[in-house]
A = this chain, B = another copy of it.
Amino acid sequence: MLHKNRLFTPGPTPLLPAAQTAMASFTAHHRTADFRALFQRVLADMKEFIGTKNDVLVLACSGTGVMEASVSNLTSPGDQVLVLTAGKFGERWTGLARAFGCHVEELNVPYGQTFSLEDVRARVNTFTRAVFVQATESSTGARHDIEGIAKIVRAQGEETLLVVDAITGLGTTHLDVDKWGVDVIIGGSQKALMMPPGLAYCAVSDRAWKHMDKTTSPRYYFDLRKERKSAAKGETAYTPATSLFAALGAALEFVRGMGNGDLAKGREELVNNAEKCAEMTRAGAKALGLKLYASAPAAALTAICAPEGIDSGKIVKEFRESFDAVVANGQGEMKGQLFRIAHIGYYDYLDTIGILGALEHVLAKVTDKSVEYGAAVRAAQQVYARSVEAVLAAR
């Protein structure tokens, strides 16, 4: 059969058509009134999308670039920092903080797990300059309790900052940045915003801005204070990825449309959509006797354990060869153990039912066991039908 190349990876994710056409047609120079108008509108809308009154900056880099910026701007060599790590992206925080000379403490829990708040509380103290964590750990599909962690960090006072990598979390999980007191929250364009990689962004609290005047880690391209000053004049410090700004503008309009003109409401709709796709997918996987990898699964993606004795690489390969559907293998040590289906951004009912249908054929092929066709799909449909009934009942 004909194959459409379909991304079910936790970034890049499927592109919004309106974002594609916007970036294809955008040609303005970046030091013009046209670009400044777009830039300022995008920054204002990004505050609403993230749900914060804090300053938002959008940089030409991948998410890791803004992770680095949060380390280099908020720490000095020798600073004590705490990394909460439960996967490959937690480990990235450790690598970054060590690269900038921080004294890194780690709260390390096994892949697939999340942190107990007691353990977090026991490891944070007044010497901790910053706590680094993921909202959702994309390598394991786990959701971390940012609200609970924020409470613990905020109880330390103004000298301890909380930095949250929400690259796959923003737009897929409920986050109240200002109320919870998250100092830096980080996102990337190729996730819930339904556009290609190339932009990453962060919202920075007043507390964090104050710290930056004291820190001494080297930074130049990622100097957030310089970006903030430029942004106040409607510009970026260095050449921005202009076409991606155009795409971002279109994506934000789409999210606003999802909220009937209210961008914040649109973001919640996007989160609800990911939650629904994830709930359908979890029900489908369970109906096939598959186990979920994460103890507290995120809505961003579902990490599913390969059946006993099967290399998950075979599953990934079969999805690709038979359906041109790209799902993600496990990363690092998890490679071969699990596969990951994303729900971030531009996915709908038909995508979710389609990939579960395909999963049944894939399983039948790689396990040589009989699979009851329609079982995963039916379980997902029941989730969908119940949610529709619940909405009708609530009216």
Contact = CB atoms under 8 A, between A and B. Distances in A.
- Chain B CB within 10 Å, residue with most, of A3, A357, A373: A357
Contacts of A346: 2, 4
A5 to B, nearest CB: 9
A293 interface: no
A interface, size bucket = 35 or more
Contacts of A358: 349-350, 353
Interface in A333-371: 346-351, 353-355, 357-358, 360-361, 364
A382 interface: yes
A207 interface: no
A353 B325 CA distance: 14
Q: How many copies does the complex hold?
A: 2
- Chain B CB within 10 Å, residue with most, of A272, A348, A372: A348
A108 interface: no
A385 to B, nearest CB: 6
Interface in A1-23: 1-4, 6, 21
A3 B353 contact: no
- Chain B CB within 10 Å, residue with most, of A2, A6, A346, A381: A2
A170 interface: no
Given A258-B2, A361-B384, A325 B350 contact: yes
A270 B351 CA distance: 22
A92 interface: no
- Chain B CB within 10 Å, residue with most, of A353, A364, A375: A353
Contact of A323 (B324, B349, B373, B378): B349
A373 B283 CA distance: 14
Interface of A: 1-4, 6, 21, 24-25, 258, 269-270, 272-273, 276-277, 322-325, 346-351, 353-355, 357-358, 360-361, 364, 372-375, 377-378, 381-382, 384-385, 388
